Structure 1
Amino acid sequence: MADSHLSPLTSLEGRDPYGAYEDYRESGPVIWDESMQAWLVASYDLCRFVMEREDLFPPKNPNNPTFVKVRGGPRNVVIRQGDEHRATHILLLRLLSPKVSNQYREKYIREVVGGVIERFVNKGHAELGWDFAHALVIRSFLAVCGLDWRDDALAQKVYDLHMPIVAWIEGGAKGEGEAAMAAADEIRDFIMPIIEARKEGAGDDLISRMWREGPEIIRDFTAEDVYANVRELFLAGTDTTAIAIANAVYRLVKDADTRQALIEGGPDKIATFVEEVLRLYGAVQFRFRSARTDQELGGRHIRAGDTVIVINAAANRDPARFACPAHLDLNRQRARQHLAFNAGPRTCVGAALARVELIEAVTQILERTRNLRFDPAGEPPAFGNLLLRSHEPLNVLFDQA
């Protein structure tokens, strides 16, 4: 049954995965992976099919109380199913629509990005993974939620409390998850009073708007809906967006010609650059689904209950879909057709916000620095990890613009 001539998915941790992904696609496009005890899907068309057909391939979430608790409770958009999921998904898409996300860019994110850059721009050197990408995403989310993004202690606290949860989930959500549970309790104690204080829905921050618009869409809307989904937006959106920004910065540092083309081409080229970085490197490499019934997929017999892993990062370099798929093309047509934000009923609700954060980050780095280059004395970047991948560390030197 195993496709034993191919590299196991787990063996790709810390290695460039794209050669193996190409092997999967050419051998399959659906193959059995013994290391994951799962079917791997590597072609664009089949990855999109699996994600769009939730009736056939529902999400495979760990079925335990710890997983539900650390994600904010049963009213979380990731946990909910059927009509309840659809209603919550619609609400979050409305709250983070392109129009609203651009308003957040103008009101909060531009200032946050500039404030983060001010902390290192006079030094002529920085580590742009933590000093820039992660810092601006955490602080942007605080700002959007109506909290003080300049408060260093608050930003550090929020980050530190989420780390045990992220580590437990990325480790497969195994065991009791004591550290993750303790962190979830502390987060709840911290954020619930803020949520209750915004119940009148009078502000334009995300929490107030969720109170104001949620009851129109979600039946029996309560503070638990606000809490669960604010928690999910932070948990799912900060690390992934920071990773995408780090990958964009890596490409800017690596490729002086692209930097110059973006400076000359302006906002339209920067927007395409962001889409190409998302396609080429993504953030979440693959996603888990479960087969609801016995069925055929890509010429293989999938049994009910089998795990199916859609490798969106492989799909995004499928030559049947993208010409010169390994090439960053600032003139690529329909550049948004990648699967970095998933597809179907589980499409990322924070995609528009992530895009404006990426665009603002790239724009201001180009405006505020010149001669951006890797620091020969610093540790070089590596495309590490397995599920969430970014080029880090990003030790750079630069001149001020």
Structure 2
Amino acid sequence: MDLIPKPDQVVAAAGNLAHKVLYGGLADLRPMPRTLIDEGTLREVYHYRPSATAQESGDPVLLVTPLAAPAICYDLRRGCSLVEHLVTEGRPTYLLEYGEVSFKDRNLGMEHWIEEVVPTAIRETSAHAGGRQVHVVGWSLGGIFSLLTAASDADLPIASLTIVGSPVDVSLVPLVAPLRPLLNWIDGRGPITGGYRMLGGAPKPLVKWAFQLSSFQKLVTKPVAKVAHFDDADFLAQLEAVDRFTANMIAYPGRTFGQLYHRFVKGNAMVNGTFEVGGRELALADIGVPVLVFGGANDGIAPVPAVRALVPLLTGSPDVRFEVVPGGHLGMLTGRAARGTTWVVLDEWIDQWSSDRAEAATAQAAEPAPSAGTPAIGTGARRHGSKSSRALAK
């Protein structure tokens, strides 16, 4: 809105205010319809119902939720929902979430997710989709879990991995870097260690506060931005959706929180490409599927350098692609700009590594070679390597 509002801006702002008063908000927060297909201890796998306007076909996409974050990260609001986008495109779309974490779950460690929850979800998704290979998409810690799961079991039916905002080199995270010398100095004897052991994990209020702290600048400037955009219904709707997301943070199980705190925050355990889980050392170099990595241009939780550090570690992957896209930690996944950036690249990636395309390529290769002087179709295709980036943040 201009410093001196124009008549149309005043009318739009008045309409937005009236809508908020009458209906309680501007955002369409209806969840996309889904059906539970599998469940276990802190494991719920859902299949989103196909769109009435697009027939479901092709390889399935499995969205892996990070711990502590609600699954609405993928289905934030209508118009800014990755789930809605995938379903509308006709892709078989699945979601892995974990349900409510309680005190009784305090002894569950990371191996529960890496050796049981995520692999089972991948297998169940593949089975439900007719035995097809699965395109796994993981945001934040969901990306870390997806990487370690793929490194742990090469026989899983994974077509490709997409990692969104997952920091591998924690020393490059500005919020954590200044604290690491202190954390290493107290060597696990400080209040954080004692606190999570006593409480059985990181409680909801603490998780919510940590997420808000990472976006402190936006939190401070939010009232000003709200007034400045009061004529922009889509902007205000996005704020409402993000507020709902933050209010629904979930607790961390105690042992898992301890492992993350000691190994990731203090020990920066994955920076060299290996991680110990359940007595086994997993190596990212053992991942043998294509990997797409996204870094958010304004991400304070997982800055671009901390995420880019993953790329040189994926030496066993047949193709690694790194993309910088607009947005912060959540915005890069499901912000307003993601509709024309992150989602577009993800669509291209899934199509590139779909089993339908591979079968078509195999069939084409089996056909007789074209006569001399006739160019073969498709020979001009360009492949994006690990150093490529469209710099979509610009």
Structure 2 length normalisation: TM-score? 0.30
**Greater fraction helix:** 1
Choose between structure 1 and 2 for higher RCO, CA contacts under 8 A separated by at least 6 residues. 1
**Greater fraction strand:** 2
Structure 1 length normalisation: TM-score? 0.30
